[in-house]
Chain A
Amino acid sequence: MDHPLLVSYLRWIVLFPLLGAVINGVFGAKIQERFGKNGISVVACTAVGLAFIFALRAFFQLTSLVPEERYLLDTLLRWIHIGALQVDIAFAVDPLSGLMILIVTGIGGLIHLYSIGYMHDDEAYWRFFAYLNLFTAAMLTLVLADNLVLMFVGWEGVGLCSYGLIGFWYKEQANTTAGNKAFIVNRIGDAGFTLGIFIIFWSLFEAGHGTTAVFRDLGHLIHHLEGQMVWGVPAATLAALCLFVGATGKSAQIPLYVWLPDAMAGPTPVSALIHAATMVTAGVYMMARMHFLFSLSPVALGVVATVGALTALVAATIGLAQFDIKKVLAYSTVSQLGYMVLGVGVGAYGAAVFHLMTHAFFKACLFLGSGSVIHAMGDEQDMRKMGGLREKMPLTFWTFLISTIAIAGIPPLAGFFSKDEILWLTFSGGHPFLWLIGFAAAGMTAFYMFRQVFMVFFGENRADEHTKEHLHESPPVMTYPLIVLAVGALFAGFLGVPPALGGSNILEHWLEPVFAGGHGGGHAAHHHVEVIEYVLMVASVGIAAVGIFLAYLIYYRQSLSAETFTAVGGGVPYQAVFNKYYVDEFYHATAVRGSLVVSWLCSAFDRNVIDFIVNGVAKVTGLVGWAVGRFDHYIIDGLVNGLADVTFGIGNRLRQIQTGNLSIYLYVIVGAIAVSQFLPRVGADTLLPVVMVFLSLVIVVGIALWLSTRRIQWRLMFTKEGVSELR
């Protein structure tokens, strides 16, 4: 690890999608006009495809190394070198980021393919693909960054692109509002993230062992944070909590999860890319990347675990009562992200990343499947108007069902292994209460997902006649990605089969070099099989089965009415859940209204105080300018004009010596010659002062002559009339 293998191809993983984004972003409209929409998608998909190939190359190069040396580094540019802080634009691949780039480019690539079909009728086709590529580039920057600062660049990049993609259909107010919401809520998280970075820099520097932003060096230096205090709080705890605030924004945790359900306003491939496979996992990835910091602070870990578990439960309960096909998936995503964060919080980083990976498969598949349904239904998203789509859309149905089983946690599909590992490590890590919350959420997950399957694919079709006629399976370019993802949802779980079930947990071993440095959650110690592990496994499969069975009774057999449950407690709990606990209303009444009040106050301050000062300064300046103008007009101009007057006056007096009378000239000549006979005989040296004295005398006499005459009218000085009058 101390001597990373230097390579020079990692940059292309980021640069290809970036290049695709530039090509489509700058020349997209022209390409679309000239070569049609295929030109656009060829560029975009090739860019991601090439990135995927390079990601594979990096991955296989990693596997060829011994586990402890699995670290590739590609320094692209020197960037910020200030004092002790050395930050480069450098990309690094270790087992963790190696896995992530495969997910991002692989699943992202499938979503690109799917978008070819889904967005086919959209006018702004090129803009969509430019955004998608830019988003992919930003996400890859985030994942590949070898330091916190570059990671933050990617972090902001995905935020920006998500804004553009969520508000993609910007002609509708609601969509742009959703984009704004995602962007602003993420900004709150980003503020926490930056604060966290600064605290790490600063407190490391204070500790006196140098500071750094590079993850590899941070891992070695971070223990110096122990004992450091910032404002009376341990530096490690404060930094970890600040980073966690960033993670709650990106990974949609309580209290910042509200943007994600609204973000469903974007096109469905966007939901799949951003809100299932990539961006929302950034927070989890970042925390896994900074695991050594979180491991230093049990307090921060406790907060993380609690928030994760609560998010899993709260989002799952909201998901129970939604009717919008994408909203259900959105809350399901929030809930699953809660599991991942819970995993990080109990120190089970490997399990969290495992769940991240399996979730990327089945949630992308679910989103794309729902997109396929929406496409077929003519942009209808209300599940109450669907039903019976099983026969019409077999491929969509089967892939959707597989992913649903996977997310519900039925073995041996992917979700079972990853979710159960998190739950087991939560329990065995000494958090039985958090386990109980996650356990309950697992049951709800199974219920609402199967509720969705039954409502959409089974029973009678409740759509109108026109929609029914147009029902059709989506084109291959959309269904093939679904199949690939469903295969992933089927088999990805086998990468992490726990020893209790006779597996060797390949993924855990793969990630071990990354997480070995920290105190690591201690799950390595739990490798011996315990009976309770089997009990819990059976229990979680059991509760999933109960959830599925309930959904079956209510929404398939309809032998049990949903009203039985909605009426509980006078319908109050149902109303609360249906209205998403009124969190949006609460935020609107507090945060949004509060910001508006503050902005009104600021505006009033600006109008009354700042403007007053500015205007005052302007007035004072004007006054000074006026005074200076007067001074210039009367004093400076007076001096200049006065000088001119004096000169003119002297000239005017001296003029009169020229009488025009020849006799007088002659008298003067003769007189001068006569006088000169009496001047002392002198050389040229002494003649000059004599001439000067003579001239001075002449001038003095001239001034005296002028002063003795009548007062000159200054204003008439330079006019013809004035001059003639002066004569």
Chain B
Amino acid sequence: MDGLLLDIGLRHFLFVSLIVFVLGLYCVLTRKNAIGILLGVELILNSANINYIAFSHFSSGNYDGQVFAIFVIMLAAAEAVIGLAIVLGIYQNFSSIDIEAVDSLQG
């Protein structure tokens, strides 16, 4: 049990974080739905949180990284609020949340 746990090191956490990050990125790039993109962003932020905690535990020896993770969670909550508000605004203007259709920012 101990040996099994000891085998799990920093590298494993980083690998999980990478997978979560790539999944989030893929979600952000491919989704046409604005809410799907926001979900992808959440995944990316959480991958960053995993990294913070992992480095805090294995490398630095203090709790700075964990505090940062708490900040990121708070940030993600705020970002989700604003992001959803924007999406709501878009829906009111375009009757759609398909970002392919919403290209009025073009140059």
Q: Which A residues have a C-beta under 8 Å from some C-beta of B?
A: 655-663, 666-667, 670
Residue of B with least CB distance to A654: B107
Nearest B residue to A651 via CB reads B107
Q: Within 8 Å CB of A656, what residues of B? A: 107
| A656 nearest in chain B by CB position | B107
Contact B103 A659 (CB under 8 A): yes
List of 3 A-B pairs having minimum Cβ-Cβ separation, nearest first: A658-B107, A660-B106, A660-B103
A663 touches B107 (CB 8 A): no
* Contact among A655, A661, A663, A670 with B25 in the assembled complex (CB-CB below 8 Å): A670
- A659 contact set on B, CB distance < 8 A: 103, 106-107
Bound state CA distance, A261 and B102, in angstroms? 111
Closest to B107 in A: A658
B85-107 CB contact bits vs A (8 Å, 1 = yes)? 00000000000000110111111
B29 contact from A655, A657, A663, Cβ within 8 A: A663
**Could you list 12 examples of A-B contacts with CB < 8 Å?**
A655-B107, A656-B107, A658-B106, A659-B103, A660-B102, A660-B103, A661-B103, A662-B99, A662-B102, A666-B28, A667-B29, A670-B29
Residues of B in contact with A, size category: 10 to 19
Taking CB atoms and an 8 Å cut-off, the chain B residues in 35-82 that contact chain A are 37
Report how far A662 CA is from B38 CA in the complex, Å.
13
List residues of chain A with CB within 8 A of the CB of B99. 661-663
Chain B residues in the interface with A (C-beta under 8 A): 25, 28-30, 32, 37, 99-100, 102-107
Closest to B30 in A: A663
B29, B100, B102, B105: the one contacting A666 at CB < 8 Å is: B29
Measured CB to CB, the closest approach of chain A to B23, in angstroms, equals 14
How many angstroms from the CA of A655 to the CA of B106 in the assembled complex? 8
Using Cβ atoms and an 8 Å threshold, which residues of chain B touch A657? 107
In the assembly, what is the distance between CA of A670 and CA of B106, in Å? Answer: 19
Contacts known (A666-B28, A666-B29, A670-B29); A660 close to B107, Cβ less than 8 A: yes
Contacts of A655 in B (CB 8 A): 107
CA distance A659 to B99 in the complex (A): 12
Chain B hits for A663, CB < 8 A? 29-30, 32, 99-100
> B29 contacts which chain A residues (CB < 8 A)?
663, 666-667, 670
- Give the CA-CA distance A32 to B87 in the complex, in Å: 100
Q: Which residue of A lies closest to B101 (CB)?
A: A661
Chain B nearest CB, measured from A652 CB (Å): 10
Q: Would you call A661 and B106 a contact (CB within 8 A)?
A: yes
- The residue of chain B having its C-beta at the shortest distance from the C-beta of A661 within the complex is B103
A514, B37: Cα distance in complex, Å: 125
**Max count, chain B CB within 10 A of own CB: residue among A658, A660, A662:** A662
Q: With the chains together, A255 CA to B104 CA distance in Å?
A: 106
Whole-angstrom distance between the alpha carbons of A468 and B25 in the complex? 137
Question: In the complex, are the beta carbons of B105 and A660 less than 8 A apart?
Answer: yes
Q: Determine the chain B residues whose CB is within 8 A of the CB of A670 once the complex forms.
A: 25, 29
How many Å lie between the Cα of A528 and that of B105 in the bound state? Answer: 132
* A144 vs chain B, min Cβ distance (A): 94
Closest A residue to B106 using CB positions = A660
In angstroms, Cα B106 to Cα A659, docked, is: 4
CA distance A657 to B107 in the complex (A): 7
Q: From A656, A657, A660, name the one whose CB has the most chain B CB atoms within 10 angstroms.
A: A660
Q: Which residues of A contact B25 (CB under 8 A)?
A: 670
| C-alpha spacing A663/B100, complex, angstroms | 8
- Give A424 Cβ to nearest chain B Cβ, in Å: 120
Q: Does the CB pair A661–B100 fall under 8 Å?
A: yes
For B25, B30, B99, the residue with the greatest tally of chain A CB atoms inside 10 Å of its CB is: B99
The answer to whether B100 and A658 touch across the interface, beta carbons within 8 angstroms, is no
Closest B residue by C-beta to A667: B29
Contacts of B32 in A (CB 8 A): 663
Expressed in whole angstroms, the minimum distance between the Cβ of B72 and any Cβ of chain A is: 20
Taking A658-B105, A659-B103 as known contacts, 13 extra A-B pairs with beta carbons closer than 8 A to each other, sorted by chain A number, are: A658-B106, A658-B107, A659-B106, A660-B102, A660-B104, A660-B105, A661-B100, A661-B106, A662-B37, A662-B102, A663-B100, A666-B28, A670-B29
Best-surrounded residue of B25, B102, B103 (most CB of chain A within 10 A): B103
What residue in chain A is nearest B28 (Cβ atoms)? Answer: A666
